[in-house]
Structure 1
Amino acid sequence: MHLLRLLRAYSRPYAGLLTAVLVLQAVSALATLYLPSLNADIIDKGVSRGDVGYIWSTGGVMVAVAFAQVITAVAATWCAARAAMGIGRDLRRDIYARVDRFSAQDMGEFGVPTLITRGTNDVQQIQMVTVMALSFMVTMPVMCIGGIVMALREDVGLSWLMWVSVPVVLIVVGIMIAQLVPLFRSMQDRVDAISGVMREQITGIRVIRAFVRERHETARFDRANSAVAFVSERVGRVFVLMGPVIMMVMHGATAAVLWFGGHRVDAGQMEVGSLTAFMQYLLQILVAVMMGSFMAMMLPRAIVCAGRIGTVLRHEPSIEAPAAPVTPDRLRGELEFRNVSFTYPGAEKPVLQDISFTVHPGQTTAVIGATGSGKSTLINLIPRLYVPTAGEVLLDGVPVTQLDRAEIVDRVGLVPQKAFLFSGTVASNLRFGRQDATDAELWEALRIAQAADFVAGRTTGEGEQEATGLASSVAQG
């Protein structure tokens, strides 16, 4: 199971916290189990006999046990939360590191919206289940097994109530889980879809406004939002049913204990304190089963999320760094395409076929063609965002497949069609291309881009530009 593999791999650094959770929960559960027995002793040996001293002494023990139960429960929850948050942090770190190695082809295979969802919402679901599991993985079995043992110690004649009520709860939870698994899988897919719609609309907001497509995009978002709401509503209906059904079983069990136990007390077969303790133990057992059912209700979604995260972590990037990178003798700035062809995965025909040309240092080459003719694909082959299906792309006589990624970044400057501006000044953004560029060279670049007059009208002195807001204005200008 993907979820178990992920938790086993990422919980190792938190072995100390997990051990503390186990010990603290065991102490808390045992203290909880001991309280009804003390209460029964107070009723049977103190109240019924009028022994006030025994009531005070046993009551003092109950207070100490209750205090220990509270302290250990709080400490266990704290340790569980620390471990779960640490696991989530490590998962997000590894997902980001893996995605950072993806090529353009890998990004296209997954899609940006689903990668965003897998690194945020999916990890959050695993965090929540981890907290629940760490909080209940000791308490639930100890409460169930210990509650059964302690209840049998009080009275064996009423034990049949446990064998009836507990299976009923388990059957109800099993039916609900079977309904939730496909719903949660559908929900994650629809969360991906709405993330994709929002990302496209935010990215293309200027185009949407320019072509007056606001109503169309609003309707498109409404459809994606309605799809998520529809699945969420169906999930909510299942969750809403679970609480009343389990409470009905618990109240029915309580009524049965009082009815049949009252007859046994009347017949002298058990004490009133034992009846009270048995009822408390039965409720503890059912509460433990209910806690387990809550965790079981969250498991289907976490299992789906773990599978999606595992797919990203196991995916090997289509473009790997060369085992023995080659460094060209000197930097000349020569680019050569040698019989290059490229076909997108799943495409019937290549977008580029048998392309050969050479660009010498200082030479300017224009690539002209209609939309979809492969201009952007050809450019993306130079910095090795894609790998040619056939042929070679060479920089200074060395195939880019043999160059280290850092070497390619140092030698190739790519200006994409979409503008990307970072926080800072216009000068700092321009110097991303060359850190040692002088102010005169920056103004020359602005003049070529026909932005010099626009920037000059907003300088604050000595050629320094206003900060982040100006950078966005330059992009729009």
Structure 2
Amino acid sequence: MIKLLKYLKPFGTAIVGIFVLVFIQSIADLYLPTLMADIVNKGMIPGNTHYIWRLGGIMLVIAGGGAVAAITSSFLSSKVAMAYSRNLRSKVFSRVQSYSLNEFDKIGTASLITRTTNDINQVQTVLIMVLRMMVSAPMMGIGGIIMAISMNRRLTMILAIALLILVVFIAIVGQRVMPLFKFIQSKLDKLNLVSRENLTGIRVIRAFNRIDDEKRRFDEANLDLTNTTIKANKIMAGMLPIVTLIMNLTGVAIIWFGSRYIDLGDLQIGDMMAFLQYAIQIMMALLMLSMMFVFIPRGEASAVRINEVLDMAPEINDPVNPKKLGDRKGYIEFRDVSFSYPGAEKPAIHNITFSATPGEVTAIIGGTGSGKSTLINLIPRFYDVDKGAVLINGVDVREIPQEILRKKIGFVPQKALLFTGSIIENIKFGKEDATEEEVKQAAEIAQASEFISGMEDGFDSEIAQGGANVSGGQKQRLSIARALIRRAEVYIFDDSFSALDFKTDAKLRTALKKEIKNATVIMVAQRVSTVMEADRIIVLDQGEIAGIGNHKELLSTCNVYREIVASQLTEEELA
């Protein structure tokens, strides 16, 4: 957690102000019992009304000043903690944005959400406690002990015994509860993971009638978190009554022995009352410290998880000395490229060499798991190659700043993803400053204009979260429009026509030919009908190139391609 304190630098002045105010509050609280003792000893017992009024007025001023200091310090500490957590959330989010897909896979989306929300809230809670108690608790404890000793040394022995019992009890509680708070965060991760999978996969769950199974799975994760939290809170709930009991018994002992010392003339009534107040202050200070030591481990566990995000260096970084791109716009080349996912037994793709030039359509086809999506994910540098090089315009993509590289690419992912907002906002996601005419043209080419015009608000119609209110084919067409509006040098279609019917697919590809005739087009597809007219077809099999050529060439030279064609087309269609 100490590593996260560096983010408190912008709030240095406010923190100093908080500590000063807490100091004033503590001094006021420590001085009040002494004044009360003087009122009893020198005012009430002798019957000196004037003295009572004078000291009573001073007590009111000091109590009021302490209250103002307490309220102001609480306000400032809450404000600092909220601003700190806001900045920390922003830093974590920015860090996550710099991750490659590999870092996302390592931590997991559900865990990243928990770390950005719940973990930062835990650190925020601890920070508020530290700001308000770090000065107050030690001052009240040490100051109270000094003042109590000055009142009566013999009564201090009772206090020392009570404090020893209290310290032992708090240590036992802390030892039991600290590990539980650490477990709570990991169990919260699990619950978030199950919840996220259920919410995103609701269609599949209902389609396979697994609602009851998923309920049981959620209940298990929920019950696990609940039981651990209840166990921790039970221990914490039992802490306050026992501490209160110890404090009350201490008070009874002080009054019992104090009354005997008063009879002997060794102690005044006011001093005994003040001593009792100091004893309560000392034990409350110890209780505050114990609360800090209980909650700090929970904040520490959260801080470790936050630091893991902030300290994880992205594997993909911009080059220190970027190279200028060549004159051949959109020229793509793979040179002996191999890539393996972390922990995989064998490469996902191996020794891939080919080139794709502007004005041509390069199609990639192959069986499931042959490495098609992996191959195209290397072009925009979602991953970096293990061996070889991917070049665009004659320059290795690792030597081009990521922003410049990705501006040259119009990417349509395999799983069409839309964002909450209007249709026009989703299409403009590809080009923020696009005109209304450009949006309509992109939608027209993507064959999306027809269904958009049929919607109540046209291009201003709202898209639900994840595009839940449009069909799979409509989502794909909007994703294609979003890529086309970029006017990119390279277009990548990752199986982006699979949800389209054959008629729409044909119309879309015809419109695309005219629009992107000067760009390089790389198209991943499962359907032979989609790739038949491509200038170049790359056939992948188990991560290696099984054949390169056009449709006719591959039919005569590539067995893998012939098998794919035979599985999809009849002899009449083939002829």
TM-score by length of 2: 0.78
Cα deviation for residue 81 of structure 1 reads 1.4
2:356–2:362 CA contact under 8 A, matched in 1:
yes
Assess, with a 3 A threshold, how the Cα gap between structure 1 residues 57 and 421 changes in structure 2: closer, same or farther: same
The corresponding residue for 2:32 is 35
Judged with a 3 Å threshold, the aligned counterparts in structure 2 of structure 1 residues 433 and 40 are, in CA distance, closer, same or farther, namely closer
Residue 438 of structure 1 is matched in structure 2 by 438
Please say if residues 389 and 396 of structure 2, whose CA atoms lie closer than 8 Å, have aligned partners that are also in contact: yes
* Misfit runs of 4+, over 4 Å: 469-472
Contact 1:95 1:119 in 2 (8 A): yes
**Equivalence for 2:227:** 230
**How much has 1:366 moved relative to structure 2?**
2.6
Whole-angstrom distance in 2 between the partners of 1:443 and 1:313:
40
Alpha-carbon deviations, 1:344-387, whole Å to 9, x = none? 11111111111112122222233223333322211211100000
Q: Does 1:466 align with 2:464?
A: no
Q: Note closer, same or farther for the CA distance 1:222–1:371 as it changes in structure 2 (3 Å cut).
A: farther
In structure 1, C-alpha distance between the alignment counterparts of 2:175 and 2:338, rounded to whole Å:
49
How far 1:303 moved relative to its partner?
0.8
2:119 maps to 122
Q: Distance in 1 between matches of 2:415 and 2:220?
A: 28
Maintained 8 Å contact 2:428/2:439 = no
Paired residue for 1:106?
Answer: 103
Specify whether residues 432 and 48 from structure 1 end up closer, same or farther in structure 2 by C-alpha distance, changes over 3 A only.
closer
Specify which of 204, 207, 212 is matched with residue 210 of structure 1: 207
What amino acid does structure 1 have at the position aligned with 2:359? G
Q: Structure 1 CA distance, aligned partners of 2:382 and 2:53?
A: 78
**Residues of 2 paired with 1:280 and 1:408: CA distance?**
70
Distance 2:57 2:438 in 1: 81
Aligned partner of 2:42 in structure 1 is 45
Q: Residue 67 of structure 1 aligns with which residue?
A: 64
**TM superposition shift of 1:443:** 4.2
Q: Which amino acid aligns with 2:187?
A: R
Q: Which amino acid aligns with 2:100?
A: S
Contact 2:427/2:439 (8 A) holds in 1: no
- Matches of 2:230 and 2:469, distance apart in 1: 43
CA contact (8 A) 1:193 1:224 kept: yes
1:6 aligned partner: 4
Tell me how far apart the structure 2 counterparts of residues 289 and 408 of structure 1 sit (CA, whole Å).
Answer: 59
Q: Paired residue for 1:94? A: 91
Question: Using a 3 Å threshold, how does the CA distance of structure 1 residues 252 and 406 change in structure 2: closer, same or farther?
Answer: same
Mean Cα deviation higher: 124-133 or 206-215: 206-215
1:215-364 pair list within 5 angstroms: 215-330=212-327, 332-364=329-361
2-side partners of 1:129 and 1:438: how far apart? 51
Q: Normalization by structure 1: what TM-score? A: 0.94
Cα distance in structure 2, aligned partners of 1:313 and 1:85: 19
- With over 3 angstroms needed to count, the CA separation of the structure-2 counterparts of 1:440 and 1:233, relative to structure 1, is closer
Q: Check conservation: 2:328, 2:394, Cα contact below 8 A.
A: no
Q: 1:372 to 1:184 in 2, by over 3 A?
A: farther
Q: Is the 8 A contact 2:25 2:69 kept in 1?
A: yes
- Tell me how far apart the structure 2 counterparts of residues 258 and 427 of structure 1 sit (CA, whole Å): 77
The AA in structure 1 aligned to 2:427 is L
Equivalent residues of 2:38, 2:270 under 8 A apart: yes
2:503: which partner in 1?
none
What is the Cα deviation at residue 431 of structure 1?
A: 4.0
After superposition, the Cα gap between the structure-2 partners of 1:244 and 1:427, relative to the gap in structure 1 and judged at 3 Å, is closer
Q: Provide the residue aligned with 1:142 in structure 2.
A: 139
Contact 1:455-1:474 within 8 A present in 2 as well = no
Question: In structure 1, the residue corresponding to 2:365 is in which secondary structure?
Answer: coil
Whole-angstrom distance in 2 between the partners of 1:182 and 1:339: 51
Residues 77, 128 of structure 2: 8 Å contact kept: yes
**Contact 2:119/2:306 (<8 A) preserved:** yes
Q: Residue 553 of structure 2 corresponds to which residue in structure 1? A: none
CA gap 1:433/1:475 in 2 versus in 1, 3 angstroms = farther
Task: Out of 125-134 and 329-338, give the one that drifted further.
Answer: 329-338
- Tell me, in whole angstroms, the C-alpha distance in 1 between the residues paired with 2:173 and 2:282: 20
**Paired residue type of 1:382:** I
Instruction: Report how far residue 211 of structure 1 moved.
Output: 2.6
| 1:175 aligned residue (172, 177, 192) | 172
**CA drift at 1:333:** 1.6
Structure-2 separation of matches of 1:247 and 1:439: 69
CA contact (8 A) 2:326 2:394 kept: no
C-alpha distance in 2 between matches for 1:203 and 1:369: 28
Matches of 1:128 and 1:376 in 2, distance apart?
A: 44
SS class of match (1:332): coil
Query: How many residues get paired?
Result: 469
Which range moved further: 396-405 or 370-379?
370-379
**CA distance 1:469–1:202, change in 2 (3 Å):** closer
Deviates more, 1:234-243 or 1:382-391: 234-243
- Measured in 2, the distance between the counterparts of 1:277 and 1:169 equals 21
Are 1:411 and 2:384 an aligned pair?
no
Judging changes above 3 Å, is the alpha-carbon distance between structure 1 residues 408 and 235 closer, same or farther for their aligned structure 2 residues? same
Structure 2: any 5+ residue segments left out of the alignment?
475-575
The Cα RMSD (Å) is 1.9
Q: State the alpha-carbon separation in 2 of the partners of residues 381 and 206 from structure 1.
A: 31
Question: Could you give the per-residue CA deviations for residues 253-290 of structure 1, whole angstroms, max 9, x where no partner exists?
Answer: 11110111111111111111111111111011001111
Between the two structures, name the one with larger relative contact order (CA 8 Å, sep ≥ 6). Answer: 1
Partner-residue secondary structure (3-state), 2:364? coil
Aligned amino acid, residue 469 of structure 2: S
Q: CA 1:260 to 1:316, structure 2 compared with 1: closer, same or farther past 3 Å?
A: same
Looking at structure 1, the residues matched to 362 and 233 of structure 2 have their Cα atoms a distance apart, in angstroms, of 60
- Of residues 157-166 and 326-335 in structure 1, the stretch that sits farther from structure 2 once superposed is 326-335
Tell me the SS of whatever aligns to 1:319: coil
8 Å CA contact retained: 2:322, 2:399: yes
One-letter identity of the residue aligned with 1:347: A
Which range is displaced more, 139-148 or 429-438? 429-438
Instruction: Tell me: CA distance 1:77–1:213, structure 2 relative to 1, closer, same or farther (3 Å).
Output: same
How far did 1:433 drift?
3.8
Residues of 1 paired with 2:60 and 2:164: CA distance? 34
SS at structure 1 position matched to 2:412: coil
